[in-house]
Amino acid sequence: MKDILGLVLSARAKRGDIRKNLALQKLPSVSLSLNIPGYPKSDKTIAVFFATVLVQLKRYLKAQRIFLDEIKSLSQTDEAGDFFIVPLTVDSSLKHSVERVKEICQSFEGEHPLGRLIDVDITDRNGQAVSSGKMKGCFICEDRAAVQCMKEETHSKEELRDYIFNAIEQYLNKDTEKSVCRRLTTLATQAMLYEISLAPKPGAVDRLNCGSHEDMDYFTFLNSSAVISSYFNELATAGYCFNASKDQILPTIRMIGLEMEEQMFKATGSVNTQKGIIFLFGLTLFHAAWVIAQIGYFDLEIFIENLKQSTRGLVANELPTPSMEPAGGTTHGEICAQRYGLQLGGGIRREVEQGLPTVISYGLNVLKEHVIAQDVWLKEIDSKEPLMRTLLSLMSVNNDTNILFRKGPEQLEKVKSLALAVLKESGAEAREKKYRHLVGYCLKEHISPGGSSDLLAVTILIYFIELEFPSKPSAQSSKANTVASYEF
Ligand SMILES: [Zn+2]
Protein backbone atom coordinates (compact mmCIF):
# COMPACT_ATOMS: atom_id res chain seq x y z
CA MET A 1 0.00 0.00 0.00
CA LYS A 2 2.91 2.30 0.85
CA ASP A 3 4.31 1.74 -2.62
CA ILE A 4 1.03 2.66 -4.20
CA LEU A 5 0.73 5.80 -2.11
CA GLY A 6 4.26 6.72 -3.14
CA LEU A 7 3.40 6.22 -6.81
CA VAL A 8 0.24 8.34 -6.50
CA LEU A 9 2.15 11.14 -4.77
CA SER A 10 4.92 11.06 -7.31
CA ALA A 11 2.37 11.19 -10.15
CA ARG A 12 0.84 14.25 -8.48
CA ALA A 13 4.24 15.87 -8.14
CA LYS A 14 4.82 15.34 -11.86
CA ARG A 15 1.57 17.12 -12.59
CA GLY A 16 2.94 20.08 -10.61
CA ASP A 17 5.96 20.09 -12.93
CA ILE A 18 3.68 20.09 -15.98
CA ARG A 19 1.85 23.12 -14.57
CA LYS A 20 5.14 24.92 -13.96
CA ASN A 21 6.29 24.18 -17.49
CA LEU A 22 3.10 25.66 -18.89
CA ALA A 23 3.58 28.72 -16.69
CA LEU A 24 6.86 29.37 -18.47
CA GLN A 25 4.73 30.52 -21.37
CA LYS A 26 3.07 32.99 -19.00
CA LEU A 27 -0.37 31.59 -19.68
CA PRO A 28 -2.96 30.51 -17.11
CA SER A 29 -3.96 26.86 -17.42
CA VAL A 30 -7.04 24.78 -16.71
CA SER A 31 -6.77 21.17 -15.59
CA LEU A 32 -9.29 18.42 -15.03
CA SER A 33 -8.96 15.44 -12.74
CA LEU A 34 -11.33 13.23 -10.78
CA ASN A 35 -11.54 12.82 -7.07
CA ILE A 36 -11.52 9.02 -6.77
CA PRO A 37 -10.74 7.67 -3.29
CA GLY A 38 -8.64 4.51 -2.96
CA TYR A 39 -6.82 2.72 -5.72
CA PRO A 40 -6.79 2.24 -8.67
CA LYS A 41 -7.82 5.76 -9.53
CA SER A 42 -8.86 4.91 -13.05
CA ASP A 43 -10.36 2.01 -14.94
CA LYS A 44 -12.39 1.58 -18.13
CA THR A 45 -15.60 3.05 -16.66
CA ILE A 46 -13.83 5.98 -14.99
CA ALA A 47 -11.94 6.71 -18.20
CA VAL A 48 -15.22 6.90 -20.14
CA PHE A 49 -16.68 9.17 -17.45
CA PHE A 50 -13.57 11.36 -17.52
CA ALA A 51 -13.75 11.69 -21.31
CA THR A 52 -17.45 12.62 -21.04
CA VAL A 53 -16.77 15.29 -18.41
CA LEU A 54 -13.88 16.68 -20.42
CA VAL A 55 -16.10 17.22 -23.47
CA GLN A 56 -18.71 18.87 -21.24
CA LEU A 57 -16.12 21.13 -19.58
CA LYS A 58 -14.68 22.29 -22.89
CA ARG A 59 -18.17 23.07 -24.18
CA TYR A 60 -19.02 24.91 -20.93
CA LEU A 61 -15.93 27.10 -21.19
CA LYS A 62 -16.51 27.77 -24.87
CA ALA A 63 -20.07 28.87 -24.10
CA GLN A 64 -18.53 31.40 -21.68
CA ARG A 65 -16.19 32.53 -24.49
CA ILE A 66 -13.15 31.07 -22.72
CA PHE A 67 -10.93 29.44 -25.34
CA LEU A 68 -8.29 26.79 -24.78
CA ASP A 69 -5.03 26.38 -26.62
CA GLU A 70 -5.74 22.76 -27.56
CA ILE A 71 -2.46 22.23 -29.42
CA LYS A 72 -0.62 22.68 -26.12
CA SER A 73 -2.97 20.40 -24.19
CA LEU A 74 -1.82 17.26 -22.45
CA SER A 75 -3.92 14.23 -21.62
CA GLN A 76 -2.64 11.30 -19.58
CA THR A 77 -3.55 8.52 -17.20
CA ASP A 78 -1.08 7.80 -14.42
CA GLU A 79 -1.14 6.39 -10.88
CA ALA A 80 -3.05 9.48 -9.74
CA GLY A 81 -5.78 8.80 -12.33
CA ASP A 82 -6.96 10.56 -15.47
CA PHE A 83 -5.59 14.02 -16.08
CA PHE A 84 -5.96 16.78 -18.65
CA ILE A 85 -4.31 20.17 -18.72
CA VAL A 86 -4.44 23.02 -21.22
CA PRO A 87 -3.40 26.70 -21.25
CA LEU A 88 -5.90 29.40 -22.18
CA THR A 89 -5.36 31.06 -25.52
CA VAL A 90 -3.46 34.36 -25.34
CA ASP A 91 -6.65 36.20 -26.24
CA SER A 92 -8.73 34.51 -23.53
CA SER A 93 -6.01 35.05 -20.92
CA LEU A 94 -6.16 38.79 -21.65
CA LYS A 95 -9.94 38.98 -21.58
CA HIS A 96 -10.66 36.93 -18.44
CA SER A 97 -9.08 37.19 -15.01
CA VAL A 98 -7.99 33.87 -13.48
CA GLU A 99 -10.41 34.49 -10.61
CA ARG A 100 -13.28 34.75 -13.08
CA VAL A 101 -12.17 31.55 -14.85
CA LYS A 102 -12.00 29.77 -11.48
CA GLU A 103 -15.51 31.01 -10.65
CA ILE A 104 -16.86 29.67 -13.97
CA CYS A 105 -15.15 26.31 -13.43
CA GLN A 106 -16.69 26.12 -9.98
CA SER A 107 -20.11 26.75 -11.48
CA PHE A 108 -19.41 23.86 -13.83
CA GLU A 109 -18.61 21.59 -10.88
CA GLY A 110 -21.63 22.87 -8.96
CA GLU A 111 -24.08 22.31 -11.79
CA HIS A 112 -22.80 18.85 -12.70
CA PRO A 113 -24.77 15.95 -11.11
CA LEU A 114 -21.46 14.33 -10.12
CA GLY A 115 -19.65 17.63 -9.52
CA ARG A 116 -18.23 16.52 -6.17
CA LEU A 117 -16.07 14.02 -8.06
CA ILE A 118 -14.79 16.63 -10.47
CA ASP A 119 -11.76 18.83 -9.86
CA VAL A 120 -11.19 21.68 -12.26
CA ASP A 121 -8.05 23.52 -11.16
CA ILE A 122 -6.75 26.83 -12.41
CA THR A 123 -3.11 27.86 -12.35
CA ASP A 124 -2.24 31.51 -12.93
CA ARG A 125 0.44 32.82 -15.30
CA ASN A 126 3.06 32.42 -12.55
CA GLY A 127 2.25 28.77 -11.95
CA GLN A 128 0.33 29.44 -8.71
CA ALA A 129 -2.89 27.56 -7.97
CA VAL A 130 -5.95 29.82 -7.88
CA SER A 131 -8.04 28.91 -4.88
CA SER A 132 -11.59 29.92 -4.12
CA GLY A 133 -11.29 28.82 -0.51
CA LYS A 134 -14.52 26.87 -0.83
CA MET A 135 -14.74 23.33 0.57
CA LYS A 136 -16.09 20.44 -1.44
CA GLY A 137 -19.02 18.58 0.09
CA CYS A 138 -18.78 14.90 1.04
CA PHE A 139 -20.01 12.61 -1.68
CA ILE A 140 -22.22 10.58 0.64
CA CYS A 141 -23.37 13.02 3.35
CA GLU A 142 -24.51 16.02 1.40
CA ASP A 143 -24.23 18.57 4.22
CA ARG A 144 -20.68 17.87 5.38
CA ALA A 145 -17.32 18.89 3.98
CA ALA A 146 -15.39 16.05 2.37
CA VAL A 147 -12.27 16.83 4.46
CA GLN A 148 -14.30 16.56 7.65
CA CYS A 149 -15.53 13.06 6.77
CA MET A 150 -12.00 12.13 5.72
CA LYS A 151 -10.50 13.35 9.00
CA GLU A 152 -13.08 11.51 11.06
CA GLU A 153 -12.95 8.47 8.76
CA THR A 154 -16.73 8.52 8.55
CA HIS A 155 -16.74 6.23 5.51
CA SER A 156 -14.49 3.37 4.59
CA LYS A 157 -12.66 3.56 1.26
CA GLU A 158 -14.74 0.59 0.08
CA GLU A 159 -18.02 2.30 0.98
CA LEU A 160 -16.97 5.46 -0.83
CA ARG A 161 -15.74 3.60 -3.89
CA ASP A 162 -18.90 1.49 -4.13
CA TYR A 163 -21.03 4.60 -3.86
CA ILE A 164 -19.02 6.51 -6.43
CA PHE A 165 -18.70 3.68 -8.96
CA ASN A 166 -22.41 3.06 -8.74
CA ALA A 167 -23.15 6.76 -9.30
CA ILE A 168 -20.78 6.91 -12.29
CA GLU A 169 -22.34 3.84 -13.86
CA GLN A 170 -25.85 5.24 -13.45
CA TYR A 171 -24.74 8.56 -14.90
CA LEU A 172 -23.14 6.92 -17.92
CA ASN A 173 -26.20 4.71 -18.50
CA LYS A 174 -28.43 7.78 -18.50
CA ASP A 175 -26.03 9.51 -20.85
CA THR A 176 -26.14 6.55 -23.25
CA GLU A 177 -29.93 6.45 -23.06
CA LYS A 178 -30.13 10.12 -23.98
CA SER A 179 -27.73 9.86 -26.88
CA VAL A 180 -29.30 6.66 -28.29
CA CYS A 181 -32.82 8.12 -28.12
CA ARG A 182 -31.69 11.42 -29.61
CA ARG A 183 -30.02 9.58 -32.45
CA LEU A 184 -33.11 7.44 -33.10
CA THR A 185 -35.20 10.63 -33.15
CA THR A 186 -32.93 12.13 -35.78
CA LEU A 187 -33.02 8.98 -37.92
CA ALA A 188 -36.82 8.79 -37.72
CA THR A 189 -37.20 12.43 -38.73
CA GLN A 190 -34.73 11.93 -41.55
CA ALA A 191 -36.49 8.78 -42.82
CA MET A 192 -39.89 10.50 -42.71
CA LEU A 193 -38.62 13.54 -44.64
CA TYR A 194 -36.86 11.38 -47.23
CA GLU A 195 -40.07 9.53 -47.97
CA ILE A 196 -42.20 12.67 -48.26
CA SER A 197 -39.67 14.46 -50.41
CA LEU A 198 -39.00 11.62 -52.86
CA ALA A 199 -40.41 12.76 -56.22
CA PRO A 200 -42.20 12.12 -58.43
CA LYS A 201 -44.11 9.40 -56.56
CA PRO A 202 -47.05 7.63 -58.20
CA GLY A 203 -50.23 9.13 -56.78
CA ALA A 204 -48.76 10.27 -53.46
CA VAL A 205 -47.85 13.73 -52.20
CA ASP A 206 -44.20 14.63 -52.79
CA ARG A 207 -42.12 17.78 -52.89
CA LEU A 208 -43.09 18.51 -56.48
CA ASN A 209 -46.82 17.78 -56.57
CA CYS A 210 -49.91 16.68 -54.67
CA GLY A 211 -50.40 13.37 -56.49
CA SER A 212 -54.02 12.27 -56.38
CA HIS A 213 -54.81 14.43 -53.34
CA GLU A 214 -56.80 17.62 -53.33
CA ASP A 215 -56.93 18.18 -49.59
CA MET A 216 -53.19 18.12 -48.87
CA ASP A 217 -49.85 19.16 -50.34
CA TYR A 218 -46.17 19.06 -49.46
CA PHE A 219 -46.58 21.77 -46.85
CA THR A 220 -49.44 19.91 -45.15
CA PHE A 221 -46.95 17.05 -44.77
CA LEU A 222 -44.22 19.35 -43.49
CA ASN A 223 -46.64 20.69 -40.89
CA SER A 224 -47.64 17.26 -39.65
CA SER A 225 -44.05 15.96 -39.83
CA ALA A 226 -42.89 18.78 -37.58
CA VAL A 227 -45.54 17.87 -35.01
CA ILE A 228 -44.98 14.12 -35.24
CA SER A 229 -41.19 14.35 -34.98
CA SER A 230 -41.48 16.11 -31.63
CA TYR A 231 -42.74 12.81 -30.14
CA PHE A 232 -40.07 10.49 -31.54
CA ASN A 233 -37.79 10.95 -28.55
CA GLU A 234 -40.62 10.09 -26.18
CA LEU A 235 -41.34 6.88 -28.11
CA ALA A 236 -37.69 5.86 -28.15
CA THR A 237 -37.24 6.65 -24.45
CA ALA A 238 -40.37 4.66 -23.59
CA GLY A 239 -38.84 1.64 -25.35
CA TYR A 240 -35.36 2.17 -23.91
CA CYS A 241 -36.64 2.30 -20.33
CA PHE A 242 -39.48 -0.22 -20.66
CA ASN A 243 -39.62 -2.74 -17.83
CA ALA A 244 -43.33 -3.52 -17.40
CA SER A 245 -45.14 -6.64 -18.58
CA LYS A 246 -45.38 -7.30 -22.31
CA ASP A 247 -49.14 -6.72 -22.48
CA GLN A 248 -48.41 -3.08 -21.61
CA ILE A 249 -46.26 -2.45 -24.68
CA LEU A 250 -49.05 -1.62 -27.12
CA PRO A 251 -50.97 0.57 -24.65
CA THR A 252 -47.72 2.42 -23.84
CA ILE A 253 -47.03 3.13 -27.51
CA ARG A 254 -50.66 3.98 -28.19
CA MET A 255 -50.85 6.49 -25.36
CA ILE A 256 -48.19 8.50 -27.17
CA GLY A 257 -49.55 7.65 -30.63
CA LEU A 258 -53.04 8.92 -29.83
CA GLU A 259 -51.66 12.26 -28.73
CA MET A 260 -49.58 12.40 -31.91
CA GLU A 261 -52.71 11.81 -33.98
CA GLU A 262 -54.60 14.58 -32.18
CA GLN A 263 -51.72 16.99 -32.80
CA MET A 264 -51.39 15.85 -36.42
CA PHE A 265 -55.07 16.61 -37.10
CA LYS A 266 -54.67 20.01 -35.44
CA ALA A 267 -51.66 20.80 -37.61
CA THR A 268 -53.29 19.72 -40.88
CA GLY A 269 -56.82 21.08 -40.41
CA SER A 270 -58.22 17.55 -39.79
CA VAL A 271 -56.51 15.88 -42.74
CA ASN A 272 -55.02 12.42 -42.19
CA THR A 273 -51.52 12.79 -43.55
CA GLN A 274 -49.44 10.35 -41.52
CA LYS A 275 -51.54 8.12 -39.30
CA GLY A 276 -49.77 5.10 -40.79
CA ILE A 277 -46.38 6.62 -40.02
CA ILE A 278 -47.39 7.26 -36.42
CA PHE A 279 -48.35 3.61 -36.00
CA LEU A 280 -45.30 2.15 -37.77
CA PHE A 281 -42.72 4.57 -36.37
CA GLY A 282 -44.20 4.23 -32.88
CA LEU A 283 -43.70 0.47 -32.93
CA THR A 284 -40.31 0.67 -34.64
CA LEU A 285 -38.77 3.34 -32.40
CA PHE A 286 -40.03 1.65 -29.24
CA HIS A 287 -38.76 -1.80 -30.18
CA ALA A 288 -35.47 -0.62 -31.69
CA ALA A 289 -34.66 1.37 -28.53
CA TRP A 290 -35.64 -1.60 -26.40
CA VAL A 291 -33.32 -3.96 -28.26
CA ILE A 292 -30.43 -1.46 -28.09
CA ALA A 293 -31.01 -0.96 -24.35
CA GLN A 294 -30.92 -4.70 -23.74
CA ILE A 295 -27.96 -5.80 -25.86
CA GLY A 296 -26.13 -2.59 -26.74
CA TYR A 297 -26.74 -2.74 -30.49
CA PHE A 298 -29.55 -3.24 -33.02
CA ASP A 299 -30.31 -6.80 -34.06
CA LEU A 300 -32.94 -7.13 -36.78
CA GLU A 301 -33.96 -10.69 -35.80
CA ILE A 302 -34.53 -9.84 -32.16
CA PHE A 303 -36.33 -6.64 -33.16
CA ILE A 304 -38.72 -8.57 -35.43
CA GLU A 305 -39.26 -11.32 -32.85
CA ASN A 306 -40.14 -8.77 -30.16
CA LEU A 307 -42.41 -6.87 -32.52
CA LYS A 308 -44.27 -10.07 -33.38
CA GLN A 309 -44.70 -10.95 -29.73
CA SER A 310 -45.96 -7.56 -28.66
CA THR A 311 -48.47 -7.32 -31.54
CA ARG A 312 -49.67 -10.93 -31.35
CA GLY A 313 -53.46 -11.05 -31.72
CA LEU A 314 -53.66 -7.51 -33.13
CA VAL A 315 -55.52 -8.62 -36.28
CA ALA A 316 -57.90 -11.01 -34.52
CA ASN A 317 -58.64 -8.56 -31.71
CA GLU A 318 -58.99 -5.40 -33.73
CA LEU A 319 -60.19 -6.29 -37.21
CA PRO A 320 -63.64 -7.65 -38.07
CA THR A 321 -64.00 -10.71 -40.31
CA PRO A 322 -66.26 -10.91 -43.37
CA SER A 323 -68.82 -13.01 -41.45
CA MET A 324 -69.38 -10.27 -38.88
CA GLU A 325 -72.24 -7.81 -39.09
CA PRO A 326 -71.21 -4.48 -40.65
CA ALA A 327 -70.11 -2.14 -37.91
CA GLY A 328 -70.80 1.57 -38.27
CA GLY A 329 -68.13 4.28 -38.11
CA THR A 330 -65.14 1.99 -38.59
CA THR A 331 -61.79 2.90 -40.07
CA HIS A 332 -60.71 2.17 -43.64
CA GLY A 333 -58.60 -0.72 -42.36
CA GLU A 334 -61.54 -2.28 -40.56
CA ILE A 335 -63.85 -1.89 -43.55
CA CYS A 336 -61.24 -3.45 -45.87
CA ALA A 337 -60.83 -6.44 -43.55
CA GLN A 338 -64.58 -6.96 -43.50
CA ARG A 339 -65.07 -6.56 -47.23
CA TYR A 340 -62.08 -8.53 -48.51
CA GLY A 341 -60.96 -10.76 -45.67
CA LEU A 342 -57.70 -10.62 -43.72
CA GLN A 343 -55.45 -12.09 -46.40
CA LEU A 344 -56.17 -9.20 -48.76
CA GLY A 345 -57.54 -6.56 -46.38
CA GLY A 346 -55.48 -7.14 -43.21
CA GLY A 347 -53.49 -3.99 -43.93
CA ILE A 348 -50.86 -2.57 -41.65
CA ARG A 349 -51.99 -4.56 -38.58
CA ARG A 350 -51.35 -7.82 -40.40
CA GLU A 351 -47.99 -6.54 -41.63
CA VAL A 352 -46.73 -5.72 -38.13
CA GLU A 353 -48.20 -8.82 -36.50
CA GLN A 354 -46.35 -10.98 -39.00
CA GLY A 355 -43.10 -9.14 -38.28
CA LEU A 356 -43.01 -6.72 -41.23
CA PRO A 357 -42.47 -9.38 -43.94
CA THR A 358 -43.15 -6.94 -46.80
CA VAL A 359 -40.90 -4.27 -45.30
CA ILE A 360 -38.02 -6.70 -44.76
CA SER A 361 -38.19 -8.78 -47.96
CA TYR A 362 -39.42 -6.23 -50.48
CA GLY A 363 -38.24 -3.05 -48.80
CA LEU A 364 -35.09 -3.40 -46.72
CA ASN A 365 -33.44 -6.12 -48.83
CA VAL A 366 -34.12 -4.24 -52.05
CA LEU A 367 -32.89 -0.95 -50.61
CA LYS A 368 -29.66 -2.53 -49.35
CA GLU A 369 -29.09 -4.30 -52.64
CA HIS A 370 -29.44 -1.08 -54.64
CA VAL A 371 -27.48 1.10 -52.28
CA ILE A 372 -24.62 -1.40 -52.38
CA ALA A 373 -24.91 -2.09 -56.13
CA GLN A 374 -24.68 1.59 -56.96
CA ASP A 375 -22.21 2.34 -54.22
CA VAL A 376 -24.25 5.31 -53.10
CA TRP A 377 -24.82 6.46 -49.59
CA LEU A 378 -28.40 7.42 -48.97
CA LYS A 379 -27.48 10.87 -47.78
CA GLU A 380 -26.10 11.74 -51.17
CA ILE A 381 -28.15 13.43 -53.82
CA ASP A 382 -28.17 10.18 -55.84
CA SER A 383 -30.25 8.43 -53.23
CA LYS A 384 -33.37 8.83 -55.34
CA GLU A 385 -32.79 5.75 -57.47
CA PRO A 386 -32.51 3.19 -54.63
CA LEU A 387 -35.48 4.76 -52.84
CA MET A 388 -37.59 4.79 -55.97
CA ARG A 389 -36.81 1.13 -56.68
CA THR A 390 -37.67 0.22 -53.11
CA LEU A 391 -40.99 2.01 -53.35
CA LEU A 392 -41.84 0.19 -56.58
CA SER A 393 -40.84 -3.13 -55.06
CA LEU A 394 -43.12 -2.49 -52.08
CA MET A 395 -45.95 -1.35 -54.37
CA SER A 396 -45.63 -4.50 -56.48
CA VAL A 397 -46.59 -6.77 -53.56
CA ASN A 398 -48.30 -4.63 -50.92
CA ASN A 399 -52.06 -5.04 -50.57
CA ASP A 400 -52.38 -1.33 -49.93
CA THR A 401 -55.67 -0.71 -48.11
CA ASN A 402 -55.59 2.93 -49.27
CA ILE A 403 -56.13 1.65 -52.82
CA LEU A 404 -58.30 -1.28 -51.80
CA PHE A 405 -60.71 0.89 -49.82
CA ARG A 406 -61.24 3.50 -52.52
CA LYS A 407 -60.77 1.49 -55.70
CA GLY A 408 -61.26 -2.21 -54.95
CA PRO A 409 -59.14 -5.30 -55.64
CA GLU A 410 -58.99 -4.97 -59.42
CA GLN A 411 -57.35 -1.57 -59.34
CA LEU A 412 -55.03 -2.77 -56.60
CA GLU A 413 -53.82 -5.63 -58.80
CA LYS A 414 -53.46 -3.27 -61.74
CA VAL A 415 -51.21 -0.91 -59.76
CA LYS A 416 -49.18 -3.84 -58.40
CA SER A 417 -48.59 -5.18 -61.91
CA LEU A 418 -47.70 -1.73 -63.29
CA ALA A 419 -45.13 -1.29 -60.50
CA LEU A 420 -43.70 -4.74 -61.19
CA ALA A 421 -43.47 -3.97 -64.91
CA VAL A 422 -41.30 -0.89 -64.17
CA LEU A 423 -39.03 -2.95 -61.92
CA LYS A 424 -38.62 -5.72 -64.49
CA GLU A 425 -37.73 -3.35 -67.33
CA SER A 426 -33.99 -3.39 -67.86
CA GLY A 427 -33.66 -0.60 -70.41
CA ALA A 428 -33.32 2.80 -68.75
CA GLU A 429 -35.41 4.66 -71.32
CA ALA A 430 -38.20 2.07 -71.39
CA ARG A 431 -38.19 1.96 -67.61
CA GLU A 432 -38.58 5.72 -67.40
CA LYS A 433 -41.48 5.50 -69.87
CA LYS A 434 -43.20 2.80 -67.86
CA TYR A 435 -42.66 4.76 -64.67
CA ARG A 436 -44.24 7.88 -66.18
CA HIS A 437 -47.13 5.70 -67.30
CA LEU A 438 -47.61 4.44 -63.74
CA VAL A 439 -47.52 7.99 -62.35
CA GLY A 440 -50.00 9.13 -65.01
CA TYR A 441 -52.28 6.17 -64.39
CA CYS A 442 -52.47 6.85 -60.64
CA LEU A 443 -53.25 10.52 -61.33
CA LYS A 444 -55.95 9.72 -63.90
CA GLU A 445 -57.63 7.13 -61.67
CA HIS A 446 -57.15 9.12 -58.45
CA ILE A 447 -55.17 6.31 -56.88
CA SER A 448 -52.85 6.99 -53.95
CA PRO A 449 -50.65 4.15 -52.68
CA GLY A 450 -50.24 5.84 -49.28
CA GLY A 451 -49.79 2.49 -47.52
CA SER A 452 -46.71 1.69 -49.61
CA SER A 453 -45.32 5.16 -48.91
CA ASP A 454 -45.61 4.40 -45.18
CA LEU A 455 -43.82 1.10 -45.70
CA LEU A 456 -41.06 2.89 -47.60
CA ALA A 457 -40.61 5.35 -44.72
CA VAL A 458 -40.28 2.56 -42.15
CA THR A 459 -37.92 0.66 -44.48
CA ILE A 460 -35.63 3.71 -44.60
CA LEU A 461 -35.83 4.05 -40.82
CA ILE A 462 -34.83 0.43 -40.17
CA TYR A 463 -32.06 0.74 -42.75
CA PHE A 464 -30.68 3.80 -40.91
CA ILE A 465 -30.95 2.12 -37.50
CA GLU A 466 -29.06 -0.96 -38.72
CA LEU A 467 -26.28 1.25 -40.06
CA GLU A 468 -26.11 3.39 -36.94
CA PHE A 469 -26.21 0.67 -34.28
CA PRO A 470 -24.42 -2.31 -35.84
CA SER A 471 -23.68 -5.45 -33.87
CA LYS A 472 -20.09 -6.03 -32.87
CA PRO A 473 -18.35 -8.97 -34.59
CA SER A 474 -17.82 -10.75 -31.27
CA ALA A 475 -21.46 -10.25 -30.31
CA GLN A 476 -22.66 -11.65 -33.61
CA SER A 477 -21.19 -15.09 -32.98
CA SER A 478 -23.29 -15.44 -29.84
CA LYS A 479 -26.43 -14.22 -31.59
CA ALA A 480 -28.34 -17.48 -31.09
CA ASN A 481 -27.76 -17.33 -27.36
CA THR A 482 -28.80 -13.72 -27.20
CA VAL A 483 -32.09 -14.41 -28.94
CA ALA A 484 -32.87 -17.33 -26.67
CA SER A 485 -32.07 -15.44 -23.49
CA TYR A 486 -33.89 -12.29 -24.50
CA GLU A 487 -37.34 -13.13 -23.27
CA PHE A 488 -40.18 -10.85 -22.31
ZN1 LIG B 1 -19.50 11.96 4.57
pLDDT exceeds cutoff 90 at 385: no
CA distance 357 to 346: 13
Between the CA of 47 and the centroid of ligand 1 the distance, in Å, is 25
CA distance 119 to 138: 14
Between the CA of 15 and the centroid of ligand 1 the distance, in Å, is 28
pLDDT in tens, 324-360: 665 555 677 788 888 888 888 888 999 999 999 999 9
Q: In the predicted model, what is the mean pLDDT of residues 387-398?
A: 95
Is residue 474 very low, low, confident or very high in pLDDT (cuts 50, 70, 90)?
A: very low
pLDDT at residue 476 in the model: 41
pLDDT in tens, 249-263: 999 999 999 999 999
Between the CA of 407 and the centroid of ligand 1 the distance, in Å, is 74
Between the CA of 166 and the centroid of ligand 1 the distance, in Å, is 16
Q: In the predicted model, what is the mean pLDDT of residues 47-60?
A: 98
Between the CA of 118 and the centroid of ligand 1 the distance, in Å, is 16
Between the CA of 133 and the centroid of ligand 1 the distance, in Å, is 19
Between the CA of 148 and the centroid of ligand 1 the distance, in Å, is 8
Between the CA of 163 and the centroid of ligand 1 the distance, in Å, is 11
Is residue 462 very low, low, confident or very high in pLDDT (cuts 50, 70, 90)?
A: very high
Largest CA distance in the chain: 90
pLDDT at residue 484 in the model: 30
pLDDT exceeds cutoff 60 at 482: no
Q: Which of 104, 111, 110 is nearest to 68 (CA)?
A: 104
Q: Going by C-beta distance under 8 Å and a sequence separation of 6 or more, which residues neighbour residue 9? A: none
pLDDT exceeds cutoff 60 at 479: no
Cα dist from 335 to 321, 329, 402, 474, whole Å: 9, 9, 11, 48
Between the CA of 157 and the centroid of ligand 1 the distance, in Å, is 11
pLDDT exceeds cutoff 80 at 378: no
pLDDT at residue 20 in the model: 86
Is residue 282 very low, low, confident or very high in pLDDT (cuts 50, 70, 90)?
A: very high
pLDDT exceeds cutoff 70 at 54: yes
pLDDT at residue 325 in the model: 60
Per DSSP, helices labelled H in 198-268 are 218-229, 232-240, 249-268
pLDDT exceeds cutoff 90 at 228: yes
Between the CA of 167 and the centroid of ligand 1 the distance, in Å, is 15
Between the CA of 421 and the centroid of ligand 1 the distance, in Å, is 75
Cβ < 5 A residues, ion ligand 1 = 138, 140-141, 149, 154
pLDDT in tens, 193-221: 999 988 888 988 888 777 777 788 899 99
- Total-model pTM: 0.89
Between the CA of 58 and the centroid of ligand 1 the distance, in Å, is 30
pLDDT at residue 485 in the model: 30
For residue 61, the one-letter residue type is L
For residue 269, the one-letter residue type is G
Find out whether 442 and 203 touch, Cβ atoms under 8 Å.
yes
Between the CA of 130 and the centroid of ligand 1 the distance, in Å, is 26
Sign of CA dihedral 445, 450, 452, 453: positive
Between the CA of 155 and the centroid of ligand 1 the distance, in Å, is 6
Proportion of the chain above pLDDT 70, given as a percent: 92
Between the CA of 3 and the centroid of ligand 1 the distance, in Å, is 27
CA dihedral 172, 177, 182, 188 (to 10 degrees): 150
Between the CA of 36 and the centroid of ligand 1 the distance, in Å, is 14
Q: In the predicted model, what is the mean pLDDT of residues 431-453?
A: 92
Q: In the predicted model, what is the mean pLDDT of residues 14-24?
A: 88
Between the CA of 146 and the centroid of ligand 1 the distance, in Å, is 6
Between the CA of 139 and the centroid of ligand 1 the distance, in Å, is 6
Q: In the predicted model, what is the mean pLDDT of residues 115-132?
A: 92
63-67, 308-312, 320-324, 381-385: segment of lowest average pLDDT: 381-385
